[in-house]
Amino acid sequence: MAESLSGETHPIVPGFFPDPTICRVGDDYYLANSSFEYFPGAPIFHSRDLVTWTQIGNILTSRTQFRRGSQGPSTGIYGSTLRYRDDRFWFITTNISDFHAGQVIVHAEDPAGPWSDPVFVAEATGIDPDLCWDEDGTCYLTWHVLDFTTGGQGIRQAPINPETGRFLEPDYPIWQGSGMSMAEGPHLYRIGDYWYMMLAEGGTERGHCVTVARGSSPRGPFGSCPQNPILTHRSSDHVVQNVGHADLVQTTAGEWAAVYLGVRPRGSTPGFHVLGRETFLAGVNWTDGWPTFDESRFDIPQADTRFSDDFTEDLNPRWVVPDGEPAAVIERDAGGGVRFHSTDDVLCARVRDFDWHTDAEVEKAGSVGLRLDDRHWYHVQLCDGIVRAVIQIGDLRHELGGFATQEQYVTLCVETAAPRTPPVPFGHAGPDDIVMSVVCEHGTTELARLDGRYLSTEVAAGFTGRMLTVGAPSPDGRILRVTYRPLPA
């Protein structure tokens, strides 16, 4: 039986799965996340118990739904809302890469897809859109107004036709938060006698928190909760930091719960988070008509994150591509495995654990590595009979190690290890070391052992997390199999 862990310290969806949004239909729960520059976009999960989740697909699987536009790290799909209404699932999000098209709405009868062609809400420019319906069936869009010249400009709302994306009347300001910076991530709910507006405030870094207000109408006015913020770990030594961006759901038992994002930093000050912003679960109680978070209510089973993929079946939804499409990057080989159309392309999967090992069986040429963004990555490769480690840190690219081999088939390996250096002030310990090696007929050869700090958000910036990468530095190369497994802590 899998070990159960405290929900206060362990995510329900580990790895780079931020900005969670949730809904329930009967006995089934569905959860979606933002995905930034990676396509397909917006991974979606299913659960029957709130603590064990299985990815059933990605919502945005066509470039009509997720238009490319501007490219680069931390562009693409931002915060979203997933809801069920009138026998349909509705999903609304922001595509920063196609920012001036406005918010994007798709719907589906089956959450595993296919999802509809998109509707664009051109009148709503900003991020973090929410959809909520009143008793009369009026749909309200609430979002954070933002542009990249002025910055954030507050929370606004408008009744909308979600089928067309057209406003039913001009938008208007609504609750602007409790007074902290960066009031965003709105979610609107009708619960009991009140309408509740929940926000993320303080920025998505160490000051992140959840605030709430209530009123008698979906349009407000809203009165701020006297206990705001109702969830935060700021200025604490809690192992989970940056908590916020929550979404509520009523359970099958009639109780309430919330999903929210958090990070688990490690290493010396200021602490380095490498898995990205992860999805956590808390119970919700009601005191004097206000929600309060019970972070330790749920026991979380240890997620099974192992996989081994020889690419003989349809591409698993774990595999995504930064600023591209899998169909344009790889093709299946008749003899098994995959080949890459371009030496610049990579196929990516999210890292789900702190301690892990991955290897790739390659023929003639191939690479396996670790990526935070296009300017911060490490990989080990076989090309033209030479095995070498290659790293990119900012503007610096460098080759490490390397030796010649006559073998056509080798296994390239990347794994984490405890940092060998002590913490500051007398050392420079990061969250981990990254070890790259190769397995040939003569045994295992370590090519490089590198500081993991450079593949952390605190160094590279942005909103994403570590991704495994596989590719081929030569068109002759073939990836036969990729295996990932967690290591004992």
* 54-91 per-position pLDDT tens digit: 999 999 999 999 999 999 999 999 999 999 999 999 99
CA-CA distances (angstroms) from residue 384 to 138, 369, 408, 475?
63, 18, 10, 11
How many alpha carbons fall within 13 Å on the CB side of residue 247?
26
Task: Report d(CA 59, CA 21) in Å as an integer.
Answer: 13
Closest CA to 354 of 251, 476, 186, 489: 489
8 Å CB contact between 464 and 16: yes
Task: Report d(CA 139, CA 146) in Å as an integer.
Answer: 22
Residues belonging to the active site: 19, 184
Task: Report d(CA 189, CA 199) in Å as an integer.
Answer: 12
Collect the ranges in the chain with pLDDT lower than 70. Answer: 1-2
Q: What pLDDT is attached to residue 440?
A: 87
> Six-digit token pair at 186?
């709105």
Q: What pLDDT is attached to residue 230?
A: 98
Closest CA to 230 of 165, 181, 176, 293: 293
8 Å CB contact between 150 and 195: no
> Six-digit token pair at 9?
């310290």
Q: Give this prediction's pTM.
A: 0.96
User: Strands, DSSP E only, in 251-365?
Assistant: 256-263, 278-287, 290-294, 299-301, 307-309, 321-322, 330-332, 338-340, 347-350, 356-363
8 Å CB contact between 284 and 439: no
Q: What pLDDT is attached to residue 2?
A: 54
Query: Quick one: what percent of the chain has pLDDT higher than 90?
Result: 91
Strands 256-263 and 231-232 come out as unpaired
8 Å CB contact between 176 and 184: no
101 three-state secondary structure = helix
The domains found in the chain, sorted by start residue, are 4-301 (2.115.10.20), 307-486 (2.60.120.200)
Q: Which residue has 């006559």 as its token pair?
A: 406
The dihedral over CA atoms of 154, 160, 164, 169, expressed in degrees to the nearest 10, equals -90
Task: Report d(CA 19, CA 35) in Å as an integer.
Answer: 9
Tens of pLDDT, residue by residue over 171-226, are: 999 999 999 999 999 999 999 999 999 999 999 999 999 999 999 999 999 999 99
Q: What pLDDT is attached to residue 1?
A: 43
